[in-house]
Amino acid sequence: MAEDEQKVEAEEDAAEKEEEKGEEGEIETERRIKPNNPEFNAQFNYAKNYIKTSKYTLLNFIPYNLFEQFQRLANFYFLCLLVLQLIPVISSLTPVTTAVPLIGVLMVTGIKDAYDDYQRHRSDNQVNRRKSYVLRNGQLAEEMWSKVEVGDVIRMENNQFVAADVLLLSTSEPNGLCYIETSELDGETNLKSKQCLPETEEFGQDVGRIGSFQGEIRCEPPNNQLNKFDGTLYWDNQAHPLDNDKILLRGCILRNTQWCYGVVIFAGKDTKLMMNSGKTKFKRTSIDRLLNFIILGIVFFLLSMCLFCTVACGIWETLTGQHFRIFLPWDSLVPPEPAGGAAVIALLVFFSYAIVLNTVVPISLYVSVEVIRLCQSFLINWDVALCYAPTGVHAKARTTTLNEELGQIEYIFSDKTGTLTQNIMTFNKCSIAGRSFGDIIDPRTGESLEINEYTRSVDLSHNPYHESSFKFYDHALTDALDASDPSCELFFRLLALCHTVMSEDKNGKLEYQAQSPDEAALVSAARNFGFVFLSRTPNSITISAKGTEEMYELLCILDFNNVRKRMSVILKRDGKIRLYCKGADSIIYERLKDGQESLKYHTQEHLNKFAGEGLRTLCLAYKDLDGEYFQNWKARHHEAAISLDRREEKLDAIYEEIEKDLILLGATAIEDKLQDGVPQTIANLAIAGIKIWVLTGDKQETAINIGYSCQLLTDDMLDIFIIDAHTASEVEDQLKKYREEIRNVNATSQPQTNLSVVTFSDEGVGQDTLSDAGEPNGGFALVINGHSLVWALSPKFEQLFLEVASQCKSVICCRVTPLQKALVVDLVKRYKKAVTLAVGDGANDVSMIKTAHIGVGISGQEGLQAVLASDYSVAQFRFLERLLLVHGRWSYYRMCKFLRYFFYKNFAFTLCHFWFAFFVAFSAQTLFDPMFISVYNLFYTSMPVLALGIFEQDVNAVNSIKFPRLYSPGLNNALFNKREFFRSALHGFLTSCVLFFIPFGAYYNGMDQDGRSMADQQTFGSVVATILVIVVTVQICLDTSYWTMFNHITIWGSLIFYFLLQYFYNFVIGGEYVGALAKAMGEPMFYFTSLLTIVVLMLPVMAWRFYWVDVHPTLSDKVRFKQRHDAKMASKRSDHDMLRTPSARRSRRSIRSGYAFAHQEGFGRLITSGKIMRPRNPKPGAMSNGRTSNLRPDANRVSVVAPAPSTVEV
């Protein structure tokens, strides 16, 4: 272990030096790489594969951390103060009074920073120590990722992450194909195909040939463009062009490919994944920034008091002090002449009062803030309600400095795939021949029943190919199939035939490899209902229809693309030629044969219902073709496909010709499963006043569909603006048009309040209703595509875009790159001055997570990149509700209450010295014992306020979620701002007046019962100090709303500890004020003075608070009142009377299209060309370079016509 740690430290140092060289060196314009030639590659000093997100090392921690800490204004101020206290001439206090708290602050903050960085080191090590097979000296060796270098050849295996950006050399699949999942890069889980050069594909897994590969690669320098790569491979006196289809990027996962080899092009920080991750930014809360401003103001206030005391001292010394030099001789440094001597004394007094009054700038404030934040982080980590039971993953606060910012979030930027959704598609419902299937109807009422864990699913176990995970609950569909309903059989036969799915037999089990989860769900549904897709060749498809094997001749695939929004297959069996088609409802309906009005009407009704439930829909149709017509069409299609003039237009016309006069068969409804509680969470966060923007790499239809599912988009909205223009002028026109529409609507609409309130009826305390008046229906939503966002985020249009977007209730950005996500977040940060939160689960979300004020990583299935870059991590999106509305709100509430009290008690303490100055000739004589000054904030008053900052809550967690509007004070910075600070400072100012002058009046000519004078400075100082401790303790009792055992121990314990420490210090150690307090407490005057002072100070506070709570109660006051007095009534009330969050799948009718199909073109061409196929029965020994031969028994298949981009003809 020790050796490993030394290696890691050495790697860190090397990485830092490398980074420095990179920053100092010239900009790279071209990259040159020779595989298997480390000597050649080493001359360019390319970045190694080691990644580093930590800040410190063992060597630089102390200087670097101290440098950062002294950048805080308060820490630097106290360092200067400590230097002044080391000068005896001007210091009336020992340096210990400042040194102890300053060292304490630096140590506590340093320990916290070290802990945070240690967690980052652990996370880095987890990634850097992943294993990969690297070709070294002609042999495969297992190496850590951090040891991989540019030019290395690495072997990757199925389901493994790609270690770096590599050029694909050879794969286990036919024709050099391999399949990857890029969810960490763009959030998509669709399989994407990559293909190596034919020249290197011959290497197979022959390590000898790969190890002797000595070509030269010249390519573009590192950049963040995920979809672009330009390069050339020079080998055997030939130049081979390289593009993005031959590159595997770091963060991709190899799927359905047994192995592949690649040469590392970019490593570590140069990989496209890391270059899209953005730089780690130092994050501070808005309260931190406000505190810096306030501390600066307090310093000026302190200097003003010092200046006043300086002038007053100079005047007193000039008029009076010079006559007392025999009794109070001047210091030897002071000139003897009156004017000069008074000036020097006044100057020295300035620094003396700067030391005496320094506690008005509380150094212990920062210690307390750090302790409170650390404890709040532990409370988040320990919250069992934030634990995801299926995986046992807890929420984790990965930083300890941003907790209260969680209570001030105004904008949430969320990824879609894996964050809002589970990325699991399930066949939910369908419409066949005008009849809807999937709902369970109550025979008594005719209403649909809610499906829950107790609902009995259809038994499909008689089907040998059924999947145990597949659930369907409507028995009517299986009954229809059992009765051999022709429409139902044709419906599922279409689903089993019209697709581009590949089948594979793994250990006797049939498995599918689908390009998209949508297709997998549809083919899986057909399989479970008895229509099983078995296999395919380039010119045939074989299925099992209810146990009977059927083989179809594949004549043509009209592949899917985003313009066509449909795909078709043309099949032949028993002499019959039939076209099967599936696609978007609007596209299919335009191409239907006349005379199907009744069927179209009923199917449209079902489509509207499915869309209203947030399901993704496709329409199915078919058409029988005449053999002679098809041959004629095929010939004309061939002419169009090989045409060099207007090929696309001609092909479109050919497609339109054959894909018309279709017969409608029905529609499918797939549920893109949301994570549990997503709609409720979004609804509650919206009620709280938080705006949610979805930034996703998915296409527009998919994103819109999920928007409806999770209630970001509703049918009640006035309009949904879609920006999809490709040029700057078009984007500008669309934005201006939508801005004008919004202005017109706003000009004619009535102003509405946006506040939900709680009212109590006369029937009994606690009858309450969450008013709906504050949540107006309607509003606008904005959907913008990535190519349009490029122009919208340009400096010329960004404010126009933000003006339109900020007036919409929901914003969805589709097809965005990771960098665009960060730019959107940054735009809102810069212009709206709002606190932002970004949440995601993949590496494609890292950049926006780092850019936002707070980044939240979902511990999902897309790796750890988002979690490693985040400030907080949770297992599910729904936990964001509790994280913000409970922990965030509590943290903000506690911190604000803590700060208000802290400034109050420090002003009350420090200003007593200022009043005392008027009676000691402004000589910087202290009122209190120096020991009391040192430990007042450290011991006497620190623990109660810490308990307040850690455990205080106005309402409990349940009501915090039930009443989301309780979150609004944080959005408005209502609990701690400049006004609240001045109120606290004024409260402290008045308290110090009363604290000083009532005891002063009592003890001015006071005598004890024996006639001895009580008017000495030590007795007076001890009395004021004791009353001060009692008063601030009583004040915190009034401030505490939630009493715990810790509050009782700290509050009453602090009072007891004060008297015990006073006794110990004065009598055991022998302090300067020995006996003063004991003497005062032996007289009734002390108790009368204390009681009078406490009553005078506390009575107005109590009256003021009673008035506001009784006459002008806040929502928090009302909920707290309900919580305290009406627990019994609350338990009887139905939850839905309180919550206004819609059901995730509540049935409603929608007139929008529910079409969304996450599919891409190109797979049809691979299927029919045969490139994607494996041989069914390879001959023994038919192997080449360690890989199965590509020879197939169907070598006499029909020749392939030159394919168009979206159509393949066989």
- Read off the pLDDT of each residue in 1190-1206 and give the average, rounded to a whole number: 36
Q: Which of 415, 585, 768, 845 is catalytic?
A: 415
Residue 854, C-beta contacts closer than 8 angstroms, at least 6 positions apart:
283, 402, 405, 406, 409, 835, 836, 837, 838, 871, 872
Q: Residue 426 in 3-state DSSP?
A: strand
* Distance, CA of 898 to CA of 1039 (rounded, Å): 9
pLDDT value of residue 409:
94
In the prediction, which pLDDT does 332 show? 65
pLDDT exceeds 90 at position 986: yes
976 neighbors 407 (Cβ within 8 angstroms): no
| Helix or strand holding residue 906 (H, E) | helix 889-917
Q: Mind spelling out the 3-state secondary structure of 33-68?
A: ECCCCHHHHHCCCCCCCCCCCCCCCCCCHHHHHHHH
What was the pLDDT predicted at 1103?
A: 94
Number of C-beta neighbours around residue 64 at 10 A: 14
Structure confidence at residue 644 (pLDDT): 67
Look up residue 559 and give its amino acid.
Answer: D
pLDDT of 761: 39
Least confident of 661-670, 716-725, 1062-1071: 1062-1071
Distances (CA, A) of 745 to 625, 780, 802, 812: 52, 10, 18, 21
pLDDT-derived band at 987 (thresholds 50, 70, 90) equals very high
Element housing 746 (H / E): helix 728-748
**Do β-strands 509-513 and 502-506 pair in parallel, antiparallel, or remain unpaired?**
antiparallel
User: What is the helix (H) or strand (E) element at residue 656, kind and residue range?
Assistant: helix 647-658
Tokens standing for 1107? 């008035």
12: pLDDT strictly greater than 80: no
Higher pLDDT among residues 1167 and 891, named by residue: 891
Check residue 1140 and give its pLDDT: 40
Does the pLDDT at position 1199 exceed 50?
Answer: no
513 or 754, higher pLDDT: 513
Segment 807-832, tens digit of pLDDT = 888 899 988 878 888 899 999 998 88
Instruction: Give me the percent of the chain exceeding a pLDDT of 70.
Output: 85
Q: Check whether 922 has a pLDDT greater than 80.
A: yes
Among the ranges given (765-779, 967-981, 1142-1156), the one the predictor scored with the smallest mean pLDDT = 765-779
Say if residue 520's pLDDT is above 80. yes
Among the ranges given (592-596, 899-903, 1177-1181), the one the predictor scored with the smallest mean pLDDT: 1177-1181
Measured CA distances, 255 to 124, 135, 178, 519, 860 (Å): 25, 22, 8, 17, 18
Phi/psi region, residue 103 (left: phi>0; alpha: psi -120 to 50; beta: rest), is alpha
Strands (E), 596-707: 616-625, 663-674, 691-695
C-alpha to C-alpha distance for 1089 and 1022, rounded to whole angstroms: 13
pLDDT of res. 238:
87
Cβ atoms of 868 and 849 closer than 8 Å: no
Tell me how crowded residue 655 is: count the other CB atoms within 10 A of its CB. Answer: 19
How confident is the model at residue 920, as a pLDDT?
87
pLDDT band at 279 (very low <50, low <70, confident <90, very high): low
Chain CA centroid to CA 524, Å: 33
With H, G, I as helix, E, B as strand and everything else as coil, classify residue 1208: strand
Burial of 849-861, coded b for 16+ CB within 10 Å and e otherwise, reads: bbbbbbbbbbbbe
pLDDT at 701: 75
Radius of gyration of the chain (CA): 38
* Helices and strands (DSSP H and E) totals, the chain: 42, 38
Residue 543 has pLDDT above 50, yes or no: yes
At 230 the pLDDT is 87
- Closest listed residue to residue 425, CA positions, set 514, 495, 490, 498: 514
pLDDT mean over 1026-1032: 95
Per residue in 223-278, pLDDT tens? Answer: 877 778 888 999 888 888 888 889 999 888 888 788 999 999 999 888 888 877 65
Q: What is the arithmetic mean of pLDDT over 1063-1086?
A: 82
Which residue intervals of 833-884 are DSSP H helices? 846-851, 865-869, 879-882
Does residue 1013 register a pLDDT over 80? Answer: no
Overall average pLDDT of the 715-719 stretch: 82
CA 333 from chain centre, in angstroms, equals: 63
Say which amino acid occupies 1063.
Answer: Y
Is 950:404 a contact under the CB 8 Å cutoff?
no
The b-or-e profile of 562-591 (16+ CB within 10 A means b, else e) is eebbbbbbbbbeeeebbbbbbbbbebbbeb
Whether 652 is catalytic is no
Q: In the predicted model, is pLDDT for residue 1016 greater than 90?
A: no
Q: How far apart are CA 800 and CA 797, in angstroms?
A: 5
By the 10 Å C-beta count (0-12 exposed, 13-18 middle, 19+ buried), 923 is classed as middle
**Is residue 200 within 8 Å of 206, Cβ to Cβ?**
no
> What mean pLDDT comes out for the span 379-406?
89
Of the listed ranges 128-137, 785-794, 859-868, the one predicted with least confidence: 859-868
Above 80 in pLDDT, residue 39?
A: yes
For residue 1200, pLDDT beyond 60: no
Would you say residue 500 has pLDDT above 50? yes
Confidence tier at 502 by pLDDT (50, 70, 90):
confident
Q: What is the pLDDT of residue 562?
A: 66
Whether the per-residue pLDDT at 1071 is higher than 90: the answer is no
Written as one letter, the residue type at 1067 is F
Residues 1082-1090 have a mean pLDDT of 91
Task: Note the pLDDT of residue 265.
Answer: 93
Structure tokens at 873: 């991590």
- The 8-class DSSP code of residue 1069 comes to I
Report which DSSP code applies to 134. Answer: E
Give the Cα separation of 832 and 291 in Å (integer). 21
Identify the top-confidence range among 7-21, 204-218, 633-647. 204-218
User: According to the model, what pLDDT value does residue 199 have?
Assistant: 87
1193: Cβ–Cβ under 8 A, 6 or more apart, which residues? 1175, 1176, 1177
What confidence score (pLDDT) does residue 283 get?
Answer: 74
Please tell me the predicted confidence (pLDDT) of residue 368.
85
Please tell me the predicted confidence (pLDDT) of residue 551: 93
Q: How far does Cα 1197 stand from its chain's mean position?
A: 53
> How many angstroms separate the first and last alpha carbons of the chain?
61
Whether residue 202 is predicted with pLDDT greater than 90 in this model: the reply is no
Q: Is 838 left (phi over 0), alpha (psi -120 to 50) or beta?
A: beta
Q: Would you tell me how many other CB atoms lie within 10 Å of the CB of residue 934?
A: 20
Which two structure tokens, joined as six digits, stand for 254? Answer: 């190899």
Q: Please, which pLDDT band fits residue 318 given cuts at 50, 70 and 90?
A: confident
Average pLDDT score over residue span 1011-1039: 89
Confidence band for 617, pLDDT divided at 50, 70 and 90: confident
Question: Smallest Cα–Cα separation from 691: which of 828, 801, 785, 882?
Answer: 828
Contacts of 903 (CB under 8 A, 6+ apart): 362, 981, 984, 985, 988
Phi, psi of 1151, rounded to the nearest 5 degrees: -100, 0
The Cα–Cα gap between 1204 and 1169 comes to: 12
Mean pLDDT across the chain: 82
- Whether the per-residue pLDDT at 9 is higher than 60: the answer is no
In sequence order, the 6+-apart residues with CB closer than 8 A to the CB of 377 are: 397, 399, 400, 403
| Amino acid at position 362, single letter | P
Residue 768: its pLDDT value, please? 39
Q: Give tens-digit pLDDT for 1036-1062.
A: 999 999 999 999 999 999 999 999 988
pLDDT at 845: 81
Of 114, 119, 235, give the one whose Cα is nearest residue 169: 235
pLDDT value of residue 767: 36
DSSP structure class, residue 757: -
**How far apart are alpha carbons 179 and 190 in whole angstroms?**
10
Task: Using alpha carbons only, give the angle 144, 146, 147 rounded to the nearest 5 degrees.
Answer: 70
- Res. 600: pLDDT tops 50: yes
Single-letter amino acid code for the residue at 594: D
Picking from 844, 771, 780, the residue whose alpha carbon sits closest to that of residue 809 is 780
The residues, ordered by sequence, that sit 6+ positions from 122 with a Cβ below 8 Å of its Cβ are none
Q: Which of 27-36, 184-193, 966-975 has the lowest mean pLDDT?
A: 184-193
Between CA 1121 and CA 570 the distance in angstroms is 71
Cα–Cα distance, 710 to 704 (Å, whole number): 10
Q: Which of helix, strand or coil describes residue 295?
A: helix
Burial of 908 (0-12, 13-18, 19+ CB in 10 A): buried
